[in-house]
Amino acid sequence: MYQIFSAARRGIHTAATVFVLGSLVAGLQGGAEVFASGYGMAKLCAAVLLIGAGFGVPSLVYESRLSAPLKILIHMGTGCLVMLAADLLTGWLRPERGLIANLVTFAVQVGLAFLILAIQARRARVLARRMNDRLTEKSE
């Protein structure tokens, strides 16, 4: 149970960081216009928690013996489905915006999710290499 909460916390941390940075950009682009307040902001924050948990908890699949492509499919597939649901519930994707605009919005979000995955995978490989190097040094 601790692993599930820990994975959700890590996912929420990442989602919240991306949300804050995205809100900063959106706020600066919007000028004096109010980006979100009150209930709208509460809805956005709930979506961030949902998306963070939606990507964080499925990341536990990397501790299994499944093949790497299947692990990525489960993790990112689940996360992207949760993100799509959050997009629809918050109004990030709306029919009146048109199909192309919604597809571009979702594609950017999915691209960002895979970029974050690539960055975290690279960090894990570097850490593993350092640990292996230290173990090799100690055994010599």
Residue 127's CB is within 10 A of a number of other CB atoms, namely 10
Residue burial 74-83, b: 16+ Cβ < 10 Å; e: rest: bbbebbbebb
66: amino acid identity, one letter:
L
List pLDDT tens digits, range 13-35: 999 999 998 888 877 776 666 66
Number of domains in the chain: 1
Of 87, 88, 86, 64, nearest in space to 75 by CA: 64
pLDDT at residue 115, rounded to an integer: 96
Tell me the mean pLDDT in the region 96-116: 95
pLDDT tens per residue across span 60-94: 999 999 999 999 999 999 999 999 999 999 888 99
What's the pLDDT score for residue 34? 61
Amino acid type, 36: A
Cα 6 from chain centre: 15
pLDDT recorded at residue 43 = 87
Token pair listed for 61: 């699949």
Q: Which residues contact 107 (CB under 8 A, 6 or more apart)?
A: none
Residues of the domain holding 78: 2-139
